[in-house]
Amino acid sequence: METSKLTFELQEIPDGKSERDVSLSEGDLELDDEITLKEGNVHVNFFRTNHFIEVDFTVDVDTELICDRSLKPFVRHLNGSYHVLFEPDNVEDTESEKGAVRQIPPEDLVLDIEKEVRDTIMLEIPVRKIHPDYLDSEGNPEDFETKHYGPEPDEDEMIDPRWAELKKLKNT
């Protein structure tokens, strides 16, 4: 059985503070059909006591996204952090935007934070994925250029006939 790079054996986590750096490459983490992890780093801080294991991690990754406007792929740098408290006692799993509380199942001898890392990356992806070619110098999306195909309509065709009738009434 292949274990994830983000799975840590409990006996290898020392008491007190410790930290690990995990390098991720393409294929290490399944994100989404339109989002691909290119490479990145996860810095994990552990704090272990007899009663709990606290895990803080920071994600610093490059992802390949598909532009919503042009469908061109582009690389976007993302970073985020999350906090998870693992307890051996019977606790109800809770989750918020900044952290979670999880139970360490008694039969498990590992901590797996792959789901939390994946979710942290996914939450950092912008709602509108715009290729850098379509952003101005301040990072705001540029306006669309509208193109009209075919002959240019003359002014009489552009005016709604109902407005034309109202203009006639106004002039009389």
Per-residue pLDDT reduced to its tens digit, 125-153: 988 888 888 887 877 777 766 666 666 66
Residue 12 to residue 14: CA distance in whole angstroms: 6
Residue 147 to residue 151: CA distance in whole angstroms: 12
| Cβ atoms 89, 117 nearer than 8 A | no
Helices first, then strands: H and E counts in the chain: 3, 8
Mean confidence (pLDDT) of the chain = 84
Burial (CB count within 10 angstroms: exposed 0-12, middle 13-18, buried 19+), residue 113: buried
Domain ranges of the chain: 7-134
Residue-level pLDDT, tens digit, the chain, 172 residues: 345 788 888 888 899 999 999 999 888 888 887 888 999 999 999 999 988 899 999 999 999 999 888 889 999 999 999 999 988 877 778 887 788 888 887 777 888 899 999 999 999 998 888 888 888 787 777 776 666 666 666 665 667 778 878 888 877 6
Residue 109 to residue 71: CA distance in whole angstroms: 44
